[in-house]
């Protein structure tokens, strides 16, 4: 017999799980939340939040480097790397405390420990050195997240070979770094370290950095990073690493025989796999496929009493996807008539280096592959008043419309505030806006957002400032 | 007989007139553009663009003041005011050159000089010392803009008493300034000068700064400006000025008898009046009322062959309003079935100090006055991950919905990127989004835009992070 019985027992306290718990409480359900480490999960503790904190420091430091253009003078520019890193921990801790407050405010019962299914209708929550509790639930929601993928030859030792958590815990700035993987995480750390003077080499297997982004946009970013001093090697299959006392030698092949990149340390950022081990999923008939849990129309697993959301169910592996899936899953448990799944064609994705990259919907290539006839509009920030006034003229907005009805299929931005600008296009996409509606929406002058309006115009030969 | 005949003769080359000329050319019409000074008008030369350039310098300087929080070290922070000012002129000139390029690219015939109606179907364009040209048109579009209002006792002398153009031309930073008028222009200059160490006093007649903005939002800004060292006096009726050799003494009354504010100079920023003088409007039967030209459903004046748009037709006095009115007016001349006027309930307004203020639609007060039953949602940036990570936690998003259908009536933001964030709400308002649609739109994490989603949730008790 379980010690207690809840309407829903949520396993994992990241941006999927804790949001699910709050939404359940709002709907009058009695939720329990099980977390084995810290509330907030990877996102708040070792991902999105601390990394964005570091990137802000880097952005400010880079602004200093050309502050003379703005008539600002100073001497002896320098930095205190320990303080830079410490700020990111302070930021994380403050936000984690905020989540703890929300749990109390919403009267959510928290179980600290590792959960495992050992009997029907309950999980056992174990904390080392304590008596386990048995937590009963009418329904269960798995939100256990994901962990960096382990690749042979790229084993993490936490010293020379680090993953993103290790990178967020560095006490000193390494003089040189090799980054394996040119996705968002790799690119963000490259920008951060390079800003403070570290020599960075990125090795990416695909033909361009940020392989999931539109090629034209990713290429603009890639050129910018190269110009800033980062070495970028694409089409590079990593063969293995050799660790000496001083450094790491990473060997790779890009069709020219074996080459090597050398760094004081090597960051491995090559994707993740779902956290499914140790949960006893096999005992309750929850199927796992290629490292992720399979889910159906309402995020139910192969066991109808067990739902799953977030990174553990596979891509897109993003905190905001987990949070929205959480709300949908809980609303679906609460009300079987609830529309099942979020719209996976309207998910924004962001990379927070400078210039930033953000996108929603289909890339040009994907839109062509789906057979759409396209109208594509582009607007470069170098032509835009606000961008010139702010001295931030890198990048462009690229909008992809279906030629027939002018429906927005995809939006891609590289530029200084791309990650904020994408919100307008998220709204446009969610409301199925056409080019005409985007073009006709009065955009404030002077703003970067005017580039969105001009790009919509450009797709149909109606851009004013081009 | 006119020397030449155009489909449309546009008078005034600001963001109304030059946009009208481009749109006319796109539609296959033959437009002429008459400009007496510089292309780009006040906006590009003495308004939006140079002021935003200065505000960027100020923002960077203010960021540097607390850059130690970000682990950045330096000595002897200072500035070169002449260089700060010079950058704003360089920015303006670059953008004006861009407009000149657009005129050539769109094959628009440009007449440099002052226009006046002296006969039917034509304007006379005069340049001092040259033979006037007579420019014939099938239609005319007046886009002559507006100029600062002249108030008795506050006469501009260009030395002690300046308007915004004078402020943009200052060679040295005055140690102290009095600003009469706490609207967007007054507040922006106050922020700019204060950032670089000038002691600023703002005198505003209404009960709070930014009188057109939502009171709750404006009050947050006001407190922030006061905290930064600006002296703000509201409810102050200015009585007059006295100019001594050293400074300006402005006397005012806020119900406590006559008080005075003293500054090295006084900026007068108390509104504008339409540029209607000298055009010979009386000769062609174009009616002017309270300083602005009256227009009808398709921006036609009381003379059906003469249309008017932009600041010269009255509030909202914004460059982006002029540009959109220009497009509507030209499309209306081209196609009489064109829907007449832009939607004046969906006009964003921006103030570019830090924190920025931006809004669209109704204030809370105006919404109540219109008889709506309201649902109001708020979300403070201090609770938001991205804002904490960036160290920019001032301000909030406030959304106003009609309680019955959840339709968005107004959106008000005070915060670090408010002027960009408002774009999402412009799209939402143009597409008549409901609270549910805003809440259901997946917003990227971590972004400031999440505050919009949370505020929508708050209005209906569904905010997650509150």
How far is Cα A112 from Cα B331, in angstroms, rounded to an integer? Answer: 65
**Contact present, A455 and A397 (Cβ < 8 Å):** yes
**Cross-chain residue pair A53–B431, CB shorter than 8 Å:** no
> What does the radius of gyration of chain A's CA atoms come to, in whole angstroms?
24
Closest CA to A431 of B421, B463, B450, B439: B439
Cβ-Cβ contacts under 8 Å, B428 against chain A: 427, 431
Catalytic residue annotation of A? 445
For residue A434, give the chain B residue with the closest CA.
B431
Give pLDDT tens digits for B404-461: 999 999 999 999 999 999 999 999 999 999 999 999 999 999 999 999 999 999 999 9
**Cross-chain residue pair B441–A428, CB shorter than 8 Å:** no
How far is Cα A163 from Cα A269, in angstroms, rounded to an integer? Answer: 6
How far is Cα B384 from Cα B394, in angstroms, rounded to an integer? Answer: 11
**Cross-chain residue pair A441–B430, CB shorter than 8 Å:** yes
**Cross-chain residue pair A56–B391, CB shorter than 8 Å:** yes
Give pLDDT tens digits for B131-170: 999 999 999 999 999 999 888 899 999 999 999 999 999 9
How far is Cα A250 from Cα A235, in angstroms, rounded to an integer? Answer: 15
Ordered DSSP codes for A377-408: EEEEGGG-HHHHHHT----EEEEEEETTT-BE
Q: Which domains does chain B have, with CATH numbers?
A: 4-147+273-334 (3.50.50.60), 161-270 (3.50.50.60), 355-459 (3.30.390.30)
Tell me the shortest Cα–Cα distance from A130 to chain B, in angstroms: 32
Six-digit token pair at A366? Answer: 């994907």
Residue by residue, pLDDT tens for chain A (466 residues) are 677 899 999 999 999 999 999 999 999 999 999 999 999 999 999 999 999 999 999 999 999 999 999 999 999 999 999 999 999 999 999 999 999 999 999 999 999 999 999 988 999 999 888 899 999 999 999 999 999 988 889 999 999 999 999 999 999 999 999 999 999 999 999 999 999 999 999 999 999 999 999 999 999 999 999 999 999 999 999 999 999 888 999 999 999 999 999 999 999 999 899 999 999 999 999 999 999 999 999 999 999 999 999 999 999 999 999 999 999 999 999 998 988 899 999 999 999 999 999 999 999 999 999 999 999 999 999 999 999 999 999 999 999 999 999 999 999 999 999 999 999 999 999 999 999 999 999 999 999 999 999 999 999 999 999 9
Cβ-Cβ contacts under 8 Å, B385 against chain A: 44, 48-49, 52, 95
Query: Which segments of B41-129 are extended strands (E)?
Result: 72-79, 109-112, 114-119, 122-126
Query: Which segments of B93-210 are extended strands (E)?
Result: 109-112, 114-119, 122-126, 133-142, 146-148, 161-162, 176-180, 199-203
The residue written with tokens 């339709």 in the block is: B407
For residue B339, give the chain A residue with the closest CA.
A440
Cβ-Cβ contacts under 8 Å, A441 against chain B: 346, 426-427, 430
> Which of B22, B347, B392, B442 to mutate: most A Cβ within 10 Å?
B442
**Contact present, B355 and B344 (Cβ < 8 Å):** no
Measure CB to CB from residue B431 to each of A69, A419, A437 and give the nearest one: A437
How far is Cα A351 from Cα B420, in angstroms, rounded to an integer? Answer: 18
DSSP label of A150: P
**Cross-chain residue pair A44–B385, CB shorter than 8 Å:** yes
**Contact present, A15 and A23 (Cβ < 8 Å):** no
DSSP label of A365: H
> Which of A50, A101, A427, A433 to mutate: most B Cβ within 10 Å?
A427
pLDDT beyond 90 at B129? no
DSSP label of A229: T
Length of chain B: 466
Residues B83-89: what's their mean pLDDT? Answer: 97
Closest CA to B453 of B378, B347, B393, B403: B378
Catalytic residue among B66, B412, B443, B445: B445
Give pLDDT tens digits for B232-251: 999 999 999 999 888 999 99
Cβ-Cβ contacts under 8 Å, B435 against chain A: none
Tell me the shortest Cα–Cα distance from A446 to chain B, in angstroms: 7
For residue A423, give the chain B residue with the closest CA.
B424
What pLDDT does residue B1 have?
65
Tell me the shortest Cα–Cα distance from B274 to chain A, in angstroms: 20
Closest CA to B24 of B144, B112, B139: B139
- What count of CB pairs under 8 Å joins A to B? 283
Cβ-Cβ contacts under 8 Å, B26 against chain A: 461-462
Please give the model's pTM, rounded to 2 decimal places: 0.97
> Which of A72, A75, A106, A454 to mutate: most B Cβ within 10 Å?
A72
**Cross-chain residue pair B385–A417, CB shorter than 8 Å:** no
Residues B206-225: what's their mean pLDDT? Answer: 98
Length of chain A: 466
How far is Cα B212 from Cα B88, in angstroms, rounded to an integer? Answer: 27
Helix/strand/coil percentages in chain B, nearest 5: 35, 30, 35
- Span of A339-343, B255-259, B272-276, B363-367 with lowest mean pLDDT: A339-343
pLDDT beyond 70 at B326? yes
Q: Does ipTM top 0.95?
A: yes
């Amino acid at each position: 017999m379980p010690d207690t019985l809840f309407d829903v027992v949520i396993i994992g306290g990241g941006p999927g799980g804790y949001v699910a718990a709050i939404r359940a409480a709002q709907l009058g359900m009695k939720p329990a939340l099980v977390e084995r480490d810290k509330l907030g999960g990877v996102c708040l503790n070792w991902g999105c939040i601390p990394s964005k904190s570091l990137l802000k420091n880097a952005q400010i430091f880079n602004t200093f480097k050309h502050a003379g253009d703005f008539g600002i003078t100073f001497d002896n520019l320098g930095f205190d790397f320990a303080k830079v890193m410490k700020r990111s921990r302070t930021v994380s801790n403050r936000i984690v405390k905020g989540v703890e407050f929300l749990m109390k405010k919403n009267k959510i019962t928290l179980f600290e420990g590792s959960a495992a299914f050992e009997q029907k209708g309950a999980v056992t929550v174990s904390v080392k050195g304590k008596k386990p509790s048995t937590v009963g639930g009418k329904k269960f929601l798995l939100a256990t997240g994901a962990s960096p993928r382990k690749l042979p030859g790229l084993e993490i030792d936490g010293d020379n070979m680090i993953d993103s958590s290790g990178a967020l815990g560095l006490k000193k700035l390494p003089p040189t770094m090799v980054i394996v993987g040119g996705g968002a995480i790799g690119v963000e750390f490259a920008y951060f370290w390079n800003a403070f003077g570290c020599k960075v080499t990125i090795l990416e297997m695909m033909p361009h950095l940020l392989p999931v982004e539109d090629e034209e946009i990713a290429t603009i970013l890639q050129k910018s990073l190269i110009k800033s001093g980062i070495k970028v090697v694409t089409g590079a299959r990593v063969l293995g690493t050799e660790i000496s006392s001083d450094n790491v030698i990473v060997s790779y092949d890009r069709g020219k025989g074996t080459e090597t990149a050398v760094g004081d340390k090597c960051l491995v950022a090559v994707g993740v796999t779902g956290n499914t081990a140790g949960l006893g999923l096999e005992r309750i008939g929850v199927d796992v496929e290629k490292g992720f849990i399979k889910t159906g129309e309402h995020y139910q697993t192969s066991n109808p009493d067990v739902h799953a959301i977030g990174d553990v169910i596979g891509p897109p592996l993003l905190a905001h996807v987990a949070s929205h899936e959480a709300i949908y899953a809980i609303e679906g448990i609460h009300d079987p008539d609830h529309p099942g799944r979020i719209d996976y064609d309207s998910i924004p994705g962001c990379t927070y280096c400078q210039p930033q990259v953000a996108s929603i919907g289909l890339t040009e290539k994907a839109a062509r592959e789906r057979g759409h006839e396209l109208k594509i509009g582009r607007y470069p920030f170098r032509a835009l008043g606000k961008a010139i006034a702010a001295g931030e003229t890198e990048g462009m907005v690229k909008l992809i419309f279906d030629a027939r009805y002018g429906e927005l299929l995809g939006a891609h931005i590289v530029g200084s505030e791309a990650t904020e600008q994408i919100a307008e296009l998220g709204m446009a996409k969610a409301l199925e806006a056409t080019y005409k509606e985007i073009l006709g929406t009065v955009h404030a002058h002077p703003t970067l957002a005017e580039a969105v309006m001009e790009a919509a115009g450009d797709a149909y030969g109606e851009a004013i400032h081009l």
